[in-house]
Amino acid sequence: MTSPTSLAVLASGSGTNLENIAKAIDEKAVPAKIEIVISDNEKAYALERARRRGIPTRVVRPADFPSRDAYDHEIAAILADAKIELVVLAGYMRLVGKELVEKFYGRMMNIHPALLPAFPGTHAVKDAFEYGVKVTGVTVHFVDEGEDTGPIILQEAVRVKEDDDEDSLYARIHQAEYRIYPEAIRLFCEGKTKLEGRKVRII
Mark 91-110 with x for binding to ligand GRF (rule: CB under 6 A) and - for no binding.
x-------------------
Member of 75, 90, 101, 160 binding ligand GRF (CB under 6 A):
90
- Name the residue nearer to ligand GRF (CB basis): 68 or 172: 172
Q: Out of 40, 72, 85, 177, point to the residue binding ligand GRF (CB under 6 A).
A: 177
Told to check if 14 binds ligand GRF by CB under 6 A, we report yes
Which window, 35-43, 72-80, 111-119, 184-192, contacts ligand GRF (CB under 6 A)? 111-119
Q: How many residues bind ligand GRF (CB under 6 A)?
A: 12
**Residue of 6, 8, 10, 15 interacting with ligand GRF (CB under 6 A):** 15
Type of residue found at 119: F
Name the segment binding ligand GRF (CB under 6 A); options: 15-23, 34-42, 52-60, 157-165. Answer: 15-23
Q: Which of 4, 16, 23, 106 binds ligand GRF (CB under 6 A)?
A: 16
112 is catalytic: yes
- Residue 63 gets the label, from left (phi > 0), alpha (psi -120 to 50) or beta, of alpha
Tell me: does residue 149 bind ligand GRF (CB under 6 A). Answer: no
Tell me the Ramachandran region of residue 96: left when phi exceeds 0, alpha when psi lies from -120 to 50, beta otherwise. beta
Binding residues for ligand GRF, rule: CB under 6 A, are: 11, 13-17, 90-91, 111-113, 177
